[in-house]
Amino acid sequence: MKHVNLHYIRAAIEANTGVTGLSLEQVRDYLVEEGLLTPSQAKRHAHIFTGYGEFFHMIDTMGEKVESEEVESEPIEL
């Protein structure tokens, strides 16, 4: 098993049942509850994407640096 596309599964649930508003966590939990995934498979193969920040930790630091430089570059009135 490679990766479980929770977005695709949620869309299929919505299309076939009319149930909307499920979180990706709920979809993953339902897959485990129904025996379609084991808890171990859910943990390893059904990740919930939370953004690229976990892969590029420097982005947050760079944003803070840019903001601080902008504040320092403001003209000072005498």
If we measure between CA atoms, which residue out of 35, 30, 39, 38 comes closest to residue 6? 30
Determine the residue type at 78: L
How many CB atoms are located within 10 Å of the residue 37 CB? 20
73, pLDDT greater than 80: no
Judge whether residue 54 has pLDDT over 90.
no
* pTM recorded for the entire structure: 0.62
Mean pLDDT value across residues 31-57: 86
DSSP, collapsed to helix, strand or coil, labels residue 17 as helix
24 within 8 A of 48, measured Cβ to Cβ: yes
Average pLDDT rounded to a whole number, residues 10-35: 95
